[in-house]
């Protein structure tokens, strides 16, 4: 049985909490795309863990974790994360499996990411674009560029040291030309990087395997497998608000290519959606609020990036974007998170559609500039004005909160199975049956 957990908005929906919760009944949790741009927060009995690369099932000692071929791996970030978990007494031994086909993030990817962003925001740079994307600076875009242009360095390359050094030298020569001649930056020392990465080689070695085969055999043995998406559908390089997106496919299709699992293997697709909307970085955000309500959402929801610490932009729930996300991902059920953040509001708004030049839109505009200009159409619901944290049964939610959930179901055409009422694993309502 393979289930997929996917972000239905612009990332940071609370995927980490939901994956951790569902890991109780899983044997394997696998990440399929993205890299250390992700920041997945787990809170267990008041202790907080932020994971960037390692799947959010790792805190359950019976769960094995896979980092699939579609992930771009920064060994520095990976080693830091392994050390952090080991300090908490969590062992990776026999529990972490890294695809030999996954690509490595190299120091020049991070430098190029930063240099491109800087040039895009500089007033007079020759390479100036209209807007910086506001990336996490983790080298994600440049690493996927190398992958697609077939010059990337993969985990498997670490196993043959002389070939690895040769590829690294070639790539650094090219990166140095870009860094110094186009971006006016410092050049990198190939020898120092080769030494550093050859040390990772011995540390990563025990985890490297053919994860495609591993997952195939696990499926045959009837194991319960959870696939963990990073980012969210609206940041998908194909289906999101291009060019203000990440460089991978967080949507459900990416799970198949990013792990070598056939699409037919996936039987349940759970979309995670926040009870309102947030976005980090630049790009269109139709329901964004620039007023005191936006401020309240940010402070009550503590909306600051788990990876970069940047304040997240906040706004009302966009059910039009959610419906699009349900369609693109094939979401069969939803987990609504952070509903408690709305506890104190008199009125709660939900965006049901977009209007452009007075006309209601049928589909999600493909053009980011058009999306910047749409006007959200709102429906107003009454707030419940009482704390929801601690409620364990759906029937015990105040009527206004049940109406809010029912509207999400009607507008998205997906059933809400899970409702999260605080960061803690324990504060979650799971509805059973249909
Ligand atoms: P992810 O990237 O989708 O895993 O989400 P993040 O971890 O980046 O951001 C979600 C934030 O909301 C984290 O700080 C979580 O601890 C927190 N969170 C998750 N669920 C809830 C909830 O139901 N209520 C509240 N108040 N916070 C939550
Ligand atoms: P999780 O998994 C929210 C955003 C960045 C930027 C854009 C491109 O925690 O939900 P990148 O560094 O990927 O090239 O940046 O995508 N972004 C995220 N926003 N949550 C994330 O991950 C994100 N990962 C990338 O802010 O706008
Ligand atoms: Mg996050």
What are the residue boundaries of the structural domains of the chain, listed by start? 2-96+210-430, 103-206
pLDDT of residue 186: 86
Measured distance CA(364)–CA(8) in Å, rounded: 14
- The answer to whether the CB of 43 is under 6 A from ligand 1 is yes
Q: Which helix or strand (DSSP H or E) is residue 323 part of?
A: helix 319-329
Strands 64-67, 28-31: pairing kind: parallel
Beta bridge partners of 269: 4
pTM for the whole structure: 0.97
pLDDT of residue 432: 81
- The answer to whether the CB of 6 is under 6 A from ligand 2 is no
Rounded to the nearest whole angstrom, what is the distance from the C-alpha of residue 151 to the centroid of ligand 3? 29
Measured distance CA(210)–CA(28) in Å, rounded: 15
Measured distance CA(133)–CA(116) in Å, rounded: 10
Give the mean pLDDT of 272-278. 98
Reply yes or no on whether 40 is catalytic. yes
- The answer to whether the CB of 39 is under 6 A from ligand 1 is yes
Name the band, by pLDDT with cuts 50, 70 and 90, for residue 127. Answer: low
Rounded to the nearest whole angstrom, what is the distance from the C-alpha of residue 305 to the centroid of ligand 3? 7
Rounded to the nearest whole angstrom, what is the distance from the C-alpha of residue 46 to the centroid of ligand 2? 26
Residue 178 carries which DSSP code? Answer: I
Given the residues 12, 27, 113, 157, select the one marked as catalytic: 12
Residue 405: CA count within 13 A, CB half-sphere: 26
Specify the range with the lowest mean pLDDT, choosing from 192-206, 213-227, 393-407, 411-425.
Answer: 192-206
Q: Cα 209–211–216 angle (5° rounding)? A: 135
- The answer to whether the CB of 278 is under 6 A from ligand 1 is no
In this model, does residue 130 exceed pLDDT 90? no
- The answer to whether the 2-96+210-430 and 103-206 domains have the same CATH topology is no
Give the mean pLDDT of 57-83. 97
Ligand that comes closest to the CA of residue 38? 2
By the CB criterion, residues less than 5 angstroms from ion ligand 3 are 12, 39, 306
- Whole-number percent of the chain with pLDDT over 70: 98
In this structure, the chain runs to a length of 434
Read off the pLDDT of residues 277-326 as tens digits, 9 standing for 90 and up.
999 999 999 999 999 999 999 999 999 988 888 999 999 999 999 999 99
For the segment(s) 2-96+210-430, the CATH number from 3.60.15.10, 3.40.50.300, 3.90.170.10, 2.30.30.230 is 3.90.170.10
Give the mean pLDDT of 329-350. 98
For a mutational test of ligand 1's pocket, the pick from 423, 427, 429, i.e. the residue with the most ligand atoms closer than 8 A to its C-beta, is 423
Buried b / exposed e over 72-103, threshold 16 CB at 10 Å, is bbbbebbeebbeebeeeebebeebbbbbbbbb
Rounded to the nearest whole angstrom, what is the distance from the C-alpha of residue 10 to the centroid of ligand 1? 13
Q: Residue 111's closest CA among 199, 174, 204, 34?
A: 174
- The answer to whether the CB of 337 is under 6 A from ligand 1 is yes
CA 143 to chain centre: 17
Give the atom of ligand 2 at the shortest distance from the alpha carbon of 308. Answer: 26
Rounded to the nearest whole angstrom, what is the distance from the C-alpha of residue 291 to the centroid of ligand 1? 22
Q: Is the peptide bond before 342 cis (omega within 30 degrees of 0)?
A: no
Beta bridge partners of 29: 65, 226
Strands 64-67, 96-99: pairing kind: parallel
Given the residues 20, 25, 27, 40, select the one marked as catalytic: 40
Reply yes or no on whether 12 is catalytic. yes
Measured distance CA(392)–CA(388) in Å, rounded: 9
Q: Which two tokens stand for residue 181?
A: 């001649």
In this model, does residue 434 exceed pLDDT 80? no
Read off the pLDDT of residues 32-51 as tens digits, 9 standing for 90 and up.
999 999 999 999 999 999 99
For a mutational test of ligand 2's pocket, the pick from 16, 37, 236, 278, i.e. the residue with the most ligand atoms closer than 8 A to its C-beta, is 37
Contact 364, 321 (CB under 8 A): yes
Measured distance CA(36)–CA(334) in Å, rounded: 25
- The chain-wide mean pLDDT, for the chain, equals 95
Q: What values do phi and psi take at 284, rounded to 5? A: -65, 145
pLDDT of residue 264: 96
pLDDT of residue 223: 98
For a mutational test of ligand 1's pocket, the pick from 14, 297, 307, i.e. the residue with the most ligand atoms closer than 8 A to its C-beta, is 14
List the alpha helices (DSSP H) in 23-139: 75-87, 107-121
Looking at domain 103-206, its CATH superfamily turns out to be Adenylosuccinate Synthetase, subunit A, domain 2 (1.10.300.10)
Residues 6+ apart with CB under 8 A from 173: 190
Read off the pLDDT of residues 87-116 as tens digits, 9 standing for 90 and up.
999 999 999 999 999 999 999 999 999 999
- The answer to whether the CB of 111 is under 6 A from ligand 2 is no
Rounded to the nearest whole angstrom, what is the distance from the C-alpha of residue 246 to the centroid of ligand 2? 6
pLDDT of residue 159: 87
């Amino acid at each position: 049985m393979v289930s997929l957990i996917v972000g239905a908005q612009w990332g940071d929906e609370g995927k980490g909490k939901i994956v951790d919760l569902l890991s109780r009944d899983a044997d394997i949790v696998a990440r399929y795309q993205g890299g250390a741009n992700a920041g997945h927060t787990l809170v267990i009995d008041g202790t907080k863990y932020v994971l960037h690369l390692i799947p959010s099932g790792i805190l359950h000692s019976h769960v094995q974790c896979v980092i699939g071929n579609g992930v771009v791996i920064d060994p520095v970030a990976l080693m830091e994360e392994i050390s952090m978990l080991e300090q908490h007494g969590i062992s990776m031994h026999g529990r972490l499996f890294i695809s030999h086909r996954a690509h490595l993030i190299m120091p020049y990817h991070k430098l190029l990411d930063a240099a491109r962003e800087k040039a895009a925001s500089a007033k007079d740079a020759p390479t100036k674009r209209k807007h910086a994307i506001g990336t996490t600076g983790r080298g994600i875009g440049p690493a996927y560029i190398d992958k697609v242009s077939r010059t990337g360095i993969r985990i498997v390359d670490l196993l043959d040291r002389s070939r690895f050094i040769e590829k690294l030298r070639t790539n650094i020569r090219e990166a140095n030309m870009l860094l110094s001649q186009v971006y006016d930056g410092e050049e990198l020392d190939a020898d120092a990087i080769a030494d550093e990465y050859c040390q990772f080689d011995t540390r990563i070695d025990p985890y490297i395997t053919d994860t495609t085969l591993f997952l195939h055999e696990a499926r045959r043995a009837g194991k319960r497998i959870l696939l963990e998406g990073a980012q969210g559908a609206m940041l998908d390089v194909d289906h999101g608000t291009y060019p203000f997106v990440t460089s991978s496919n967080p949507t459900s299709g990416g799970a198949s290519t990013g792990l070598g699992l056939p699409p037919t293997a996936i039987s349940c697709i759970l979309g995670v959606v926040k009870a309102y909307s947030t976005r980090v970085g630049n790009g269109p955000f139709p329901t964004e609020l620039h007023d005191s309500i936006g401020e309240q959402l940010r402070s009550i929801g503590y909306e600051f990036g788990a990876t970069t610490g940047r304040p997240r932009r906040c706004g009302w729930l966009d059910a039009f974007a959610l419906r699009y996300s349900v369609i693109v991902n094939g979401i069969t059920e939803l987990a609504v998170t952070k509903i408690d953040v709305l506890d104190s509001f008199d009125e709660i708004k939900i965006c049901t559609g977009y209007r452009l030049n007075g006309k209601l839109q049928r589909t999600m505009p493909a053009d980011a500039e058009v999306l910047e200009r749409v006007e959200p159409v709102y429906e107003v619901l009454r707030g419940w004005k009482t704390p929801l944290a601690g409620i364990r049964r759906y029937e015990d939610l105040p009527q206004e909160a049940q109406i809010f959930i029912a509207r999400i179901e009607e507008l998205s055409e997906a059933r809400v199975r899970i409702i999260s009422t605080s960061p803690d694993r324990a504060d979650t309502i799971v509805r059973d049956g249909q």
